[in-house]
Structure 1
Amino acid sequence: MTRRTAVPTSTYRLHLTHAFTLHDAAALVPHLHAIGVDWVYASPIQEVPAGATHGYHVVDPDRVNPELGGEEGLAALRAAVDAHDMGLVLDIVPNHMAASPDNPWWADLLARGPASPHARTFDVDFDAGPLVLPVLGTSVEQAIADGDLRVEDGMLVHHELRLPLAPDTDIDAPVEQVLAQQHYALHEWQHGEQILNWRRFFAVNELAGLRVEEPQVFDAVHATILRWVDEGTVDGLRIDHIDGLRDPAGYLETLRDRIGEDRWLVVEKIVESGELLPPGWPVDGTTGYEVNAALQSWLTDPSGHQALRRAFAQQTGVPLGTRARLARSKLAAMDELFVAEVDRIVALLLPISGGRSEAMLRRGVRYLTAHLHGYRTYVGPEGEPSESDRSAIGAAARAADEAGAPEAVPVAGLLLGDEGRPALLRWQQLTGPAAAKGFEDRLLFRDVALSGLCEVGADAALLDAVWSPDTVTDFLTTRAVRSPLAGTTTSTHDTKRSEDVRARLTALAEVPDAFVDLFEAVSVGSAADAVDGHARWLLLQTVLATRDLEPGEDPAAHRERLVDSTRKALREAALHTTHRDPNEPYEDAVFAWLDTLLADGPASTQIDALVERIAVPAACTSLAQVLLKIAAPGVPDVYRGCETWDGSLTDPDNRRPLDVGRLEKLRDRAETLDPEELRDTWQDGAVKALVTQRALRARRDLSAVFLSTRCETPRVDGTAADHVAALRRTASTDGPLGVPEPGTLPSVVALATRLPLALADGGWPIGEVWDDTVVHVGDVGRVTDVLTDRSLPVVDGRVRLSDAFAILPVALLECM
């Protein structure tokens, strides 16, 4: 293993917007250093359209977004980072740019078509005709008749959209003739999506795919990013949506060659159960969504989860079996969103198909895509497909055949043949979006029996049955060996619910009967009758998970967040309303029922009673997630504001302004108050700040231990052994930091309470509730709990958990 000298021990993800700029980030750096964070992790900083808040639709890759503070703001952040001996990792977006006239590259493409120097920058098939722009709400003829489409100031204007015209356009001609002279063609958005001749990011018409596999495009997209790396402004990179690229391996090899072997490099990649990154990728690993799924499993009561699944199916009519329904959901996503993408693959297959019909090929492509396990395969432009890729495609073909689509078998053969490589490369860019839209953006909002499990990084099998503790620890042990520097996370800009919201939901698995009783009690009356069981179940869980979670939140603001997130969730689930065809009367009925839950009355009283019962156990689970994430193999990330309680729901809720004053106040409380007092006043979130900052500091001080290739499960004995999640980390000679004498460093044992409600009946699971339970720490002379700064007695190599958990339901033991 290559010895590394500049890698983070932890990161802190900042979401930068016009309301939280690079200058604000620089001002926050002292706080981050104080809580033990090692590197700042910044969302994309290149210029995007004015007022945008997510940063993933770049319009100028060579310019720091002026709304973020521009180059001056970046310099200020770098100076602050250097002053505290920290690092900076940057999120970059090589797959796509904004499909907007604000983007000069895209605007030039629109104006000049195939003659544009950017004709090869974007993934456009001009052989199929003018570039299709699905931007109209009506037909072209109707838009012209209504005066909504006209030439004005040398531009083609449609409401707020202003499109450039070809240089030789006769602007005095009728609009119909002006349109005929362009290198693009306007269409109704719903129809136009089905005939697109360019690649998007997923199904987003505002994001155009890049041909970053071409050297000149790579150079143009990365010129400024590489300058920042070369100058030392940026220390590491996080690559967004690696699965979208035509040749991920080739891209990463080029990038690694340009940034050097020592730079920290991770990729945003969903890996399903048992799936590994392709061998040979020159990266440190994924960003860690799969670790979140593993920790969620470890802390969830499996029997309670199954009870909720059965009740959910009975109460809502949504059938059991997420995995069994996945292929159908992918098919629905393709038929609604990716018709054009499927047709482009069929067009490439048709000349080599031996006379097979378009209809047969289309069915084969659709079903092969639907039955592929995972998000994609990784066959490159040249060379033989790997055995694992052949196996995955073959398995998908057999599964499709068994599902009644034998057409997938010959299509798989064509894709794997020498002549089928262009179609295969295009197909590999479809399978990820189909999986994401069919699973992440549909089933994860439909199969919400225990909605906290419905998260990016989970797979369909996990929603059917959570992993066993042994499976989780085996996964973490393997990850330590294979990817000791990969990312680890529990909340991100992509998560549908924050880690603390999910912890509340995890608690429901310990009281499934109480939740079902509450569901039935509040599902009466005319307001409830107008809403289906799925929406009521999902919304009730969301109310329980967020009620009084953020101290002092205004009830009106809480309701607004619930409305916005529920609207998005229902449209993603696509049962009664969708983004493409919103059913606003139904949505209004859902929100009217929400008001019956929030208003003073019997429903609100019953909700408060269940919240009170699960609140402390949920807080215990939140602390467990934090500690296990920090102790687990990899580089843990703290998402902005999550060093204390965070009640964020799906984006854009998780991009709300950061209350820096509150974070600093809680940090100070965690520094000055006794841990027992912080526990007793846990509602303000300072106890989470305590666990976060003391564990992060330990990790920074003992980097060779936490970044090693060794992760084990210490033996736990006693009546409450099943209520412990435990990890032991020790330094290793073969780790990325290359410690020559690991025995001179302490080992660290992380202990966290799982299933706390059953152990302590809603109270804090501390002290004598642990009875005779002990953890084996080995032949050590001294054990200190880093979180509470206490020395613990060791008898025959064992520590009593009643001692370890005397104050908090988590402990981080330093053993010498």
Structure 2
Amino acid sequence: MVNENPPAARIPVATYRLQFNRQFSFAAAQEIVPYLNDLGVSDIYASSYLTAKEGSMHGYDVVDQNRLNWEIGTGEAYAELIGDLDKFGMGHILDFVPNHMCIESRENAWWMDVLENGPCSNYANFFDINWQPVKKELTNKVLLPLLGDQYGKVLENGELRLVFEEGSFSVTYYETRLPVEPTTWLQILRHRLDVIEAAFSADAPLLQELLSIITALQHLPTTTEHDPEKIAERYREKEVVKKRLLLLCGQSVEILNFITENVAIFNGSKGEPASFDLLDQLLCRQVYRLSFWKVATEEINYRRFFDINALSAIRMEDPIVFRETHALVLRLIQEGKVTGLRIDHVDGLYDPLTYLERLQRNCFIQCCLGQSGAGPELADAGTAADWIKRCNDDYNGVIAENPSYKPFFIVCEKILLKGEQLPEEWPVFGTTGYDYLNYLNGIFIDQENLKWLDRSYTRFIRQTINFAEAVYEKKKLVMQVSMSGEINTLGHYLNNISEKNRLTRDFTLISLTRAIIEVIACFPVYRTYANSSIIREKDVQYIETAVAKAKRRNPAISTFIFDFLRDVLLLRQGENASEGDRLEWLDFVMKFQQLTGPVTAKGMEDTAFYVYNRLVSLNEVGGAPDRFGISVDAFHSQNADRFRTFPHALVTTATHDSKRGEDVRTRIDVLSEVPEKWQKSLVKWSRLNKRKKTMVDGQPAPGRNDEYLLYQTLVGAWPVEEASNPFSPGFHARIREYMVKATREAKVHTSWINPNGTYEKALTDFIDAVLGDAAFLRDFRAFAALVSHHGMFNSLSQVLLKIGSPGIPDFYQGTELWELSLVDPDNRRPVDFRIRREMLSRLKEREAQVGAGPLVRELLAAKEDGGIKLYLIYRGLNYRRAERRLFENGDYLPLEVQGEKSRHGCAFARRWERKILIIAASRLTVGLVGDLGPVPVGRDVWKDTALFLPWEEQGAKYRNIVTGGTIAGADRGMGTALELAEVFSDAPVAILERLH
């Protein structure tokens, strides 16, 4: 072996997500490293900091994977950050984006090359472009839907401008600059050629050079060339032409003026439509077709990230694309600067399993090089190739002995729906934690009040909304409106397959496309993962289920068409099928799989979630809003499954893509405990605010469903501190922006594609009037205080359970204090780390003065400042770091709670060797202490309720890590138990360590 010991993945203790952008740089992150270390965080979890579109606030619009984003900091600043992480023994997980790149920036050199050279570009195969689309006018072209209006209007308005700079021509549309294909320069240089010829003698060297340049352009190989030698000639000669033209213009003012005048002529004169004919003819000969952005929904011929025109998908299944896009990140792994990866949108990849296997293999090689220190010595290509071959052989050997071996810590963003599990064959450590988020949140919903909430919602909005039906309809809407181009392409692909068999050739294109739409609309998960002739049993079930539902919903469509589509998706070909036919079917299936995920995400998360508003704390990515919470037993079962399958997956309660902040959700959960008060408040508020509405299209605006969402949003996001001013312009603006986004996502009264300005103004005016009404605010504030009071207890329990559950607890930036943000971009606002650093320092000083128990009581009495949440995280994470083996390897043991208040507790144990730890938390606290009752602690609250310890003997003692107190087990007839009155004597949560 290259190294005696194969690389071992670095498993984090706890991760902390940081959103890098121009407002939060490498230097800013370096400043908080000591604070994060004190908090108990072991690894920063960084958003992508590779070069993104200028001004990007999130980093997912990457334009160059092989450079650090200069807006975030220099290489030196990056090295200093990594150096400080090393100093504290901290790791670093990087969010990597393998699915797409931003194409709205000249910084994307690969895309600019495609736009200049078309199908013969060296990077044409990097992007998922269909060069032979259904629309023949786009043959060997790429549609660019970036115009704000119809092409002809934009052109004649003078918004498209021809530019000549540095010996090259380009076209600008405001900040966007596009190259002009070099052979089409002839149109510009030949225009009025007689004028420039008359200015020189026939044999003048400068004129001869211009004519020679024109001749060179005439002989330039075309953009559809396939011969590698001809393509190389094109690349070489076009650059020579640019240099010659630049030099010539520097030598001759006459020729420079001639070109400048031609450019002005091509740019036309506003108000004279015919004057734009030349520019129109030039643009029509480019390898791109400029169009109105709305055209993308039907005619786009490059695969996008969801329906975002600015993000073009890349063909990561191509080994060359993989190599070129991963060069920098693999070098950072080799150098030990990156110790883990988060893979963004894994469902968008053509073949996720192959990608992840290739990634782990390359990480193994880089880690081996890093361990050996041989990297810098491998300048010789032969030596490097030999090293890589030996590392590959080593990897194959290790995998043969241990198929579950994973050399590098990789988690993937994968949304799992009800009953779905991450494929166990994927070489990753798990998901980013949406599955955990939703299960954890579910236990804070009072399931006994389902009918109350159903009735309140239905009566208020005066209609009944079925969530499953809403998802079905909205998925169809997405396919018909924003992604119809992708659907039509898939329909033509299936039609080509059907034409090859006499039993299926009579199926029409329209009926095949409709069948595709219906099956995707009925799909029960985001996608399936077929990548060969063998299909997982689970995927077979998903496909069969979707087809069966589609048949029932569409009796007018022949069942034979659905059966044909099912057979294709299940790769059920006859024995006589050729290898070419088998590959064609498989390619269709894999492209179908790439499409179901975006449709589900757009139809469910980004549409139905904003239509079905019964209890919006359930409307979270990966959640099931129609599933009204879960039982504690179901929560335990999910934890046990994770411990068995992916024990080092991230477990989170908030991400950059969350629909609501983690403490907004725990507040809204409280509504399930006070349904009668909620219903009465709704009736009262609606009556108070009725006259604040505006008539739009004959109906009061906003609609009642949007009004219902607004009240929940205010309940969840209302500022917690009494001293804060909720009527400030900042809070107003946040609520207005959120509600406009929410209603556009719902696509009922307005949308992103067709904004309804009248409705949106009525909505924002209503919000302003509501927040300016003293009568409403008096009543609302009293109700909000109740919800906030109990929401904080929910939040503390949520934090503690996350810290103790199987998996790696992940914390989104700023969530160590109360986190009341809404969906992005609201949740990406800058975090004030100074406040957090200073508060933690004060808490540590106060702890040293009075002890943990008294401090916890003080913090609970003043819980509004968030200090209690910060302190709980600090105590929990530092204990977890000290006892990491217990949390990484310890068995998961659900514990039974018995007694009068048993439904209000949730507890489990972690056991490893002789160590035992108990995590206990309260829930549904309204039923424990009443509306604005005291902190839910002590015997008056918990009565005789006890936590049973089946392994324990009477008298065993446990130390509370949170408060420092000690309690002993007592015999309760059925075995040894801990009285919850003692467990929760000072705080409604506890971490109990068994004393030996």
TM-score interval w.r.t. the shorter chain? over 0.9
Which one is further off, 197-206 or 561-570? 561-570
What residue is the counterpart of 1:571 in the other structure?
Answer: 744
Name the aligned partner's letter for residue 9 of structure 1: V
Work out the CA distance in 2 between the residues paired with 1:273 and 1:93: 26
Is contact 2:342-2:411 (8 Å) kept? yes
What residue is the counterpart of 1:167 in the other structure?
Answer: 182
Task: Write the mapping of 1:668-683 to structure 2, written as runs, cut at 5 A.
Answer: 668-671=841-844, 672-673=846-847, 674-683=855-864
String of CA shifts for 1:749-801, please: whole Å, max 9, x gaps. 11111100111113221112001011123426320111111112322332111
Name the aligned partner's letter for residue 711 of structure 2: L
1:110 has 2:125 as partner: no
Name the aligned partner's letter for residue 879 of structure 2: A
What residue is the counterpart of 1:775 in the other structure?
Answer: 947
Which one is further off, 576-585 or 308-317? 308-317
Is contact 1:750-1:811 (8 Å) kept? yes
Work out the CA distance in 2 between the residues paired with 1:198 and 1:448: 35
Name the aligned partner's letter for residue 153 of structure 2: Q
String of CA shifts for 1:626-664, please: whole Å, max 9, x gaps. 111111111010100101111111101111111011111
Unaligned runs of 5+ in 2: 1-5, 134-138, 189-261, 267-277, 365-405, 499-503, 572-581, 694-699, 848-854
Work out the CA distance in 2 between the residues paired with 1:386 and 1:160: 48
Mark the CA change 1:436 to 1:693 in structure 2 (over 3 Å): closer, same or farther: same
String of CA shifts for 1:664-694, please: whole Å, max 9, x gaps. 1221243225111001010100000011111
What residue is the counterpart of 1:556 in the other structure?
Answer: 729
What residue is the counterpart of 1:234 in the other structure?
Answer: 338
Name the aligned partner's letter for residue 323 of structure 2: D
1:279 aligned to which of 408, 412, 424: 424
Work out the CA distance in 2 between the residues paired with 1:403 and 1:474: 34
**SS at structure 2 position matched to 1:168:** helix
1:801 has 2:980 as partner: yes
Mark the CA change 1:709 to 1:420 in structure 2 (over 3 Å): closer, same or farther: farther
What residue is the counterpart of 1:362 in the other structure?
Answer: 513
2:95 aligned to which of 91, 106, 112: 91
1:785 aligned to which of 960, 984, 993: 960
Which one is further off, 291-300 or 544-553? 544-553
Mark the CA change 1:306 to 1:235 in structure 2 (over 3 Å): closer, same or farther: farther
Q: What percent of counterpart residues are identical? A: 34
**Aligned residue pairs: how many?**
800
What residue is the counterpart of 2:711 in the other structure?
Answer: 540
Task: Write the mapping of 1:152-231 to structure 2, written as runs, cut at 5 A.
Answer: 152-153=163-164, 154-170=169-185, 171=188, 172=262, 174-231=278-335
**SS at structure 1 position matched to 2:125:** coil
Query: How many angstroms does 1:323 deviate by?
Result: 2.1
Name the aligned partner's letter for residue 579 of structure 1: W
Query: How many angstroms does 1:194 deviate by?
Result: 0.7
Is contact 2:9-2:408 (8 Å) kept? no
**SS at structure 1 position matched to 2:184:** coil
Task: Write the mapping of 1:348-747 to structure 2, written as runs, cut at 5 A.
Answer: 348-353=493-498, 354-355=504-505, 356-380=507-531, 382-404=532-554, 405=557, 406=559, 407-417=561-571, 418=582, 419-459=584-624, 462-524=625-687, 525-528=690-693, 529-549=700-720, 553-554=724-725, 555-671=728-844, 672-673=846-847, 674-708=855-889, 710-731=891-912, 742-743=913-914, 746-747=915-916
**SS at structure 1 position matched to 2:692:** helix
What residue is the counterpart of 1:127 in the other structure?
Answer: 132
Work out the CA distance in 2 between the residues paired with 1:565 and 1:198: 31
Query: How many angstroms does 1:318 deviate by?
Result: 4.7
Query: How many angstroms does 1:802 deviate by?
Result: 1.0
Name the aligned partner's letter for residue 681 of structure 2: L
Name the aligned partner's letter for residue 815 of structure 1: R
Work out the CA distance in 2 between the residues paired with 1:139 and 1:652: 30
Is contact 2:444-2:629 (8 Å) kept? no
Which one is further off, 393-402 or 314-323? 314-323
What residue is the counterpart of 2:377 in the other structure?
Answer: none
Work out the CA distance in 2 between the residues paired with 1:550 and 1:167: 63
Work out the CA distance in 1 between the residues paired with 2:679 and 2:74: 52
Is contact 1:89-1:236 (8 Å) kept? yes
Query: How many angstroms does 1:249 deviate by?
Result: 0.3
1:326 aligned to which of 467, 471, 478: 471
Work out the CA distance in 2 between the residues paired with 1:44 and 1:697: 27
**SS at structure 2 position matched to 1:60:** strand
1:75 has 2:248 as partner: no
What residue is the counterpart of 2:154 in the other structure?
Answer: 143
Query: How many angstroms does 1:108 deviate by?
Result: 0.9
Work out the CA distance in 2 between the residues paired with 1:199 and 1:712: 46
Is contact 1:498-1:646 (8 Å) kept? yes
**SS at structure 1 position matched to 2:889:** coil
String of CA shifts for 1:539-593, please: whole Å, max 9, x gaps. 1111111212267555221111111111111110111111111112212222222
String of CA shifts for 1:593-651, please: whole Å, max 9, x gaps. 22233225110001111012222211000101111111111101010010111111110
Is contact 1:364-1:409 (8 Å) kept? no
Is contact 1:614-1:757 (8 Å) kept? no
Query: How many angstroms does 1:19 deviate by?
Result: 0.7
Work out the CA distance in 2 between the residues paired with 1:587 and 1:203: 23
Work out the CA distance in 2 between the residues paired with 1:551 and 1:257: 55
Work out the CA distance in 1 between the residues paired with 2:407 and 2:296: 46
Work out the CA distance in 2 between the residues paired with 1:553 and 1:49: 36
What residue is the counterpart of 2:42 in the other structure?
Answer: 38
Name the aligned partner's letter for residue 791 of structure 1: T
Work out the CA distance in 2 between the residues paired with 1:139 and 1:444: 32
Work out the CA distance in 1 between the residues paired with 2:871 and 2:530: 47
Work out the CA distance in 1 between the residues paired with 2:110 and 2:90: 35
Is contact 2:44-2:93 (8 Å) kept? yes
Work out the CA distance in 1 between the residues paired with 2:991 and 2:563: 53
TM-score scaled by length of structure 1: 0.96
Work out the CA distance in 2 between the residues paired with 1:365 and 1:5: 42
Mark the CA change 1:711 to 1:551 in structure 2 (over 3 Å): closer, same or farther: farther
**SS at structure 1 position matched to 2:678:** helix
Name the aligned partner's letter for residue 920 of structure 2: L
Work out the CA distance in 1 between the residues paired with 2:667 and 2:10: 37
What residue is the counterpart of 1:738 in the other structure?
Answer: none
Unaligned runs of 5+ in 1: 732-741
Which one is further off, 90-99 or 176-185? 176-185
Is contact 1:670-1:687 (8 Å) kept? no
String of CA shifts for 1:53-80, please: whole Å, max 9, x gaps. 0100111111110111132222122111
Query: How many angstroms does 1:384 deviate by?
Result: 2.1
What residue is the counterpart of 2:256 in the other structure?
Answer: none
Work out the CA distance in 2 between the residues paired with 1:3 and 1:398: 47
Which one is further off, 26-35 or 169-178? 169-178
TM-score scaled by length of structure 2: 0.79
Work out the CA distance in 2 between the residues paired with 1:682 and 1:676: 10
Work out the CA distance in 1 between the residues paired with 2:815 and 2:407: 29
String of CA shifts for 1:284-303, please: whole Å, max 9, x gaps. 11111010100111111113
Mark the CA change 1:252 to 1:5 in structure 2 (over 3 Å): closer, same or farther: closer
Work out the CA distance in 2 between the residues paired with 1:272 and 1:636: 21
